[in-house]
Amino acid sequence: MPETAWRVPHRIVTERLTLRRYRADDADQMSRVTLASKDHLAPFLPWARAEPLPPADRAALLETFMTDYDEGRDFPMGIFARDTGAYVGGTGFHTRLGPGALEIGYWIAYDHQGRGYVTEAVLALTHVALTLVKADRVEIHHTPDNLASRAVPQRCGYSYDGRELTLMPGVEGVEPTDMWSATAEHLSREPLASCPRPQAFDAADHQLPWHTRATSPR
């Protein structure tokens, strides 16, 4: 088991989106959507270069996603549009930063960019991480040339923490990486302060109550 036993909701519902743990029956739509967006994703996400995955590899990947989620190693979530039910992207929390901190990753299908879906997902996940999951800190990392990705933490009111050489998943060697973060203090600043808290549900699909996080006086 990892050092920090994160308890992350299995389903998060925002105004326009459902963010949830993957299921085995997501395989077909995942294959369709990632293949259709391959050229858009591949420059920034090394895993996309291997698309399309053979069905057996897709099933194994989904199995890993689900097991990692259940055992607290990693929390990959699909992004689904509530109006159509369509699978439109991926997000979730990564735990590689160690105790106390979660990293948010994201991608959106080529034909669903420019609607604010990723911003909406990240605002919701930031509330969930800092309040429900009780992380001390949430981070977003991107390569300096990924301007569309940079705009997301900027729009969500994160603080820019500078550029470092880091290991990026799926990339050999170190890469320059721009780092952004949010802590409980950011929840009282815009746009997080006026962003409605999403509904969150546990593995048994029971809705989780929101408890106001106790903030330490400075």
Ligand X SMILES: CC(C)(COP(=O)(O)OP(=O)(O)OC[C@H]1O[C@@H](n2cnc3c(N)ncnc32)[C@H](O)[C@@H]1OP(=O)(O)O)[C@@H](O)C(=O)NCCC(=O)NCCS
Please report whether residue 47 would count as binding ligand X according to CB under 6 A. no
Locate all alpha helices (DSSP H) within the chain, ordered by sequence.
27-36, 38-41, 55-70, 117-127, 147-155
- Among 65, 75, 80, 107, which residue interacts with ligand X (rule: CB under 6 A)? 107
Please report whether residue 113 would count as binding ligand X according to CB under 6 A. yes
Nearer to ligand X, 47 or 201 (CB): 47
Q: Rg of the chain over CA atoms, in angstroms?
A: 17
> How many residues bind ligand X, per CB under 6 A?
20
Query: Biggest alpha carbon distance in the chain?
Result: 54
DSSP-based three-state secondary structure for 176: strand
Please report whether residue 83 would count as binding ligand X according to CB under 6 A. no
- Among 99, 100, 116, 144, which residue interacts with ligand X (rule: CB under 6 A)? 116
Nearer to ligand X, 117 or 158 (CB): 117
Question: Distance between alpha carbon 119 and the CA centroid of its chain, in Å?
Answer: 11
Please report whether residue 79 would count as binding ligand X according to CB under 6 A. no
Please list, in sequence order, all residues whose beta carbon lies within 8 angstroms of the beta carbon of residue 52, skipping any fewer than 6 positions away.
31, 34, 35, 38
Are 195 and 210 a contacting pair, CB within 8 Å? no
Write down the least CB distance from residue 44 to ligand X, Å: 3
How many C-beta atoms surround the C-beta of residue 132 within 10 A?
A: 21
Nearer to ligand X, 59 or 171 (CB): 171
Overall size of the chain counted in residues:
218
Nearer to ligand X, 193 or 203 (CB): 193
Element (H, E) at 196: none
Please report whether residue 195 would count as binding ligand X according to CB under 6 A. no
Please report whether residue 201 would count as binding ligand X according to CB under 6 A. no
User: Which x/- pattern over 123-152 shows residues binding ligand X (rule: CB under 6 A)?
Assistant: -------------------x---x-xx-xx
Which residue lies nearest ligand X, judged by its C-beta?
A: 116
Nearest to 144 by CA among 102, 122, 97, 177: 177
Chain positions contacting ligand X, by CB under 6 A:
40-41, 44-45, 106-108, 113-119, 142, 146, 148-149, 151-152
